[in-house]
Amino acid sequence: MGIIDEGETKFTGHDGQQATLVPGDVIVIPRDHLHACNPKNGYWRYQMIHADQSWISRLAPIPAQDLFWGIRIFRVPELYELMNDFNQQLFAGMERRSVEQSLGSMLSVVQGLAPVFEALPPGIGPGDARLLPVLQRLGNDAVAPQLGELALLAGLSKYQLIRLMHSSTGFTPIAWRHNQLVNRSRELLRSGASIAQTAAELGFSDQSHFHRVFRSHVAAAPGKYRAPLQYRSRP
């Protein structure tokens, strides 16, 4: 969840859908939704919260499948102010209970708002059954399979496989695998595993490779993600 403070940027969804983000906009981006933001004139300032989606789902007053259906942009000044105030309090040391109550209240507001833009979610339809063995290999193999092997599994050429993967999931085969690994790494880091342990367990060649992949998908370093906010306790 993020808010735009200054500047404008062109937002692009996984299938090429585009919108312009302007100051005061609020954007909600579910996990696994590929997107890109390119600032106009090379400058913009924003605030972004990366939160565990299952945790957010428990706080939301609306079903998770509705909340995280797709990327949505809201252009409502009151919602921007709510999120801006929430961020200020969060980094001032808000207690966990207050964090959850405030997030729940904001999600209640979101429930009654109409977005100015919605990016369709990536997904695999019935016609893309050829990808199922490909995704199984990408998700389960300890070592990344070769593109040629995956193409044979799907009965496609390498180029056809890349196009089908991108149109169905928003990712190329290797990017889809990396995204799955990053999601697993979040769980490991939250559980207390070190960056070195996480990189090794997920099969990355070294920590620097893991760091690059993680940062490209999460827009934050693994070390920062591993260090959760320490909530203050009242005496």
Residue 233 lies in a domain: no
Q: Final residue of a domain: which of 119, 145, 179?
A: 119
For the record, the structure tokens of 84 come out as 């801006």
Environment class of 203 (CB within 10 Å of its CB; exposed 0-12, middle 13-18, buried 19+) = middle
Both 130 and 154 in a single domain?
yes
Best CA proximity match to 189, nearest among 223, 217, 214: 223
Both 97 and 147 in a single domain?
no
CA 68, 74, 77: angle at the middle one, nearest 5? Answer: 140
Both 73 and 163 in a single domain?
no
Q: How many domains is the chain built from?
A: 2
Angle between helices 132-140 and 147-154 (to 10 degrees): 150
Q: What is the chain's pLDDT, residue by residue, as a tens digit (235 residues)?
A: 899 999 999 998 877 788 999 999 999 988 778 788 888 888 889 999 888 887 887 887 666 556 677 888 999 999 999 999 999 988 888 888 898 888 888 888 887 788 899 886 666 665 577 888 998 899 888 888 999 999 999 999 999 999 888 878 878 999 889 988 988 888 788 778 889 989 888 888 888 889 888 888 777 788 876 655 444 334 3
Q: How far apart are the C-alpha atoms of 18 and 16, rounded to whole Å?
A: 6
Both 137 and 99 in a single domain?
no
Residue 235 lies in a domain: no
pTM of this structure: 0.60
Q: Final residue of a domain: which of 119, 149, 176?
A: 119
Cβ-based neighbours of 216, under 8 Å, separated by 6 or more: 178
Residues in the chain: 235
Cβ-based neighbours of 74, under 8 Å, separated by 6 or more: 25, 26, 27, 28, 110, 113, 115, 116
Both 82 and 135 in a single domain?
no
Both 73 and 16 in a single domain?
yes
Q: Which domain holds residue 81?
A: 2-119
Residue 232 lies in a domain: no
